[in-house]
């Protein structure tokens, strides 16, 4: 998996992907969509504008990966009793922002799935994915969310920068996830580089 993004005229980016890479990226994006959950559609006959102002949850998610994707705004997970005011502020902030954040994350992951689904395979089963500048922004968001999710599942921390996690034996069941985590990081880095002036 040595794919990397390159700039294309018009502000977009392109990357050559083989069948396996396409399959992995699509599978990860679909799993991310399942983790984030479906969007709330307005009830038939209701004002769609009212749905935009619907209040979201006030409690942080219990799933560690979701908690990483939708973190507390003011109080961290280890806040103690003295931080009750910060918890209250975080709950209020979450209530008015999480629905929009979920929607954006869903849009990012859906863009990944749709752009991959639109690929026409070359003779070797691979294809060149060409993204518009707008698609690039969605891909950056989705790649970041995928890395945060996988990193949380692997329990990656700042101390793991050159740690044992990256030197796992091939027999370790975490090895494929570590490889995916590193590959997604390389894709994200090259996509960022293509977008820099």
Q: What is the mean pLDDT of residues 52-69?
A: 79
Q: Residue 42 pLDDT > 60, yes or no?
A: no
Q: What is the pLDDT of residue 51?
A: 56
What pLDDT, on the 0 to 100 scale, is given for residue 161? Answer: 58
Residues 6+ apart with CB under 8 A from 171: none
In this structure, is residue 89 part of a structural domain?
no
Beta strands across the sheet bearing 6-8 = 6-8, 12-17, 127-131
Q: Is residue 74 domain-resident? A: no
pLDDT value, residue 137: 96
Cα 20 to Cα 96: distance, rounded to the nearest angstrom: 40
Q: Average pLDDT, stretch 118-133?
A: 82
* Domain presence at residue 154: yes
Domain count, the chain: 1
Does residue 93 lie within any of the structural domains? Answer: no
pTM assigned to the model: 0.85
Residue range of the domain that includes 24: 6-39+47-57+99-195
pLDDT of residue 50: 59
**Within a domain: 66:** no
Residue 56 or 102, more confident: 102
- Tokens 């209040």 belong to residue: 55
Q: Within a domain: residue 104?
A: yes
């Amino acid at each position: 998996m040595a794919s990397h993004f390159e700039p294309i005229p018009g502000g977009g980016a392109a990357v050559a992907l083989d069948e396996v890479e396409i399959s992995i990226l699509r599978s990860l994006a679909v799993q991310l969509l399942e983790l984030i959950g479906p969007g709330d559609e307005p009830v038939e006959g209701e004002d769609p504008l009212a749905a935009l102002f619907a209040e979201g949850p006030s409690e942080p998610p219990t799933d560690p990966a979701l908690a990483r994707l939708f973190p507390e705004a003011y109080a961290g997970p280890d806040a103690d009793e003295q931080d009750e005011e910060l918890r209250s502020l975080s709950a209020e902030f979450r209530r008015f922002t999480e629905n929009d954040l979920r929607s954006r994350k869903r849009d990012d992951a859906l863009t990944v799935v749709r752009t991959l689904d639109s690929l026409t395979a070359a003779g070797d089963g691979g294809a060149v994915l060409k993204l518009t500048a707008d698609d690039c922004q969605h891909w950056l968001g989705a790649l970041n969310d995928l890395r945060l999710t996988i990193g949380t599942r692997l329990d990656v921390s700042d101390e793991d920068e050159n740690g044992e996690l990256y030197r796992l034996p091939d027999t370790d069941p975490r090895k494929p996830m570590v490889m995916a985590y590193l590959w997604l990081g390389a894709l994200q880095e090259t996509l960022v580089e293509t977008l820099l002036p």
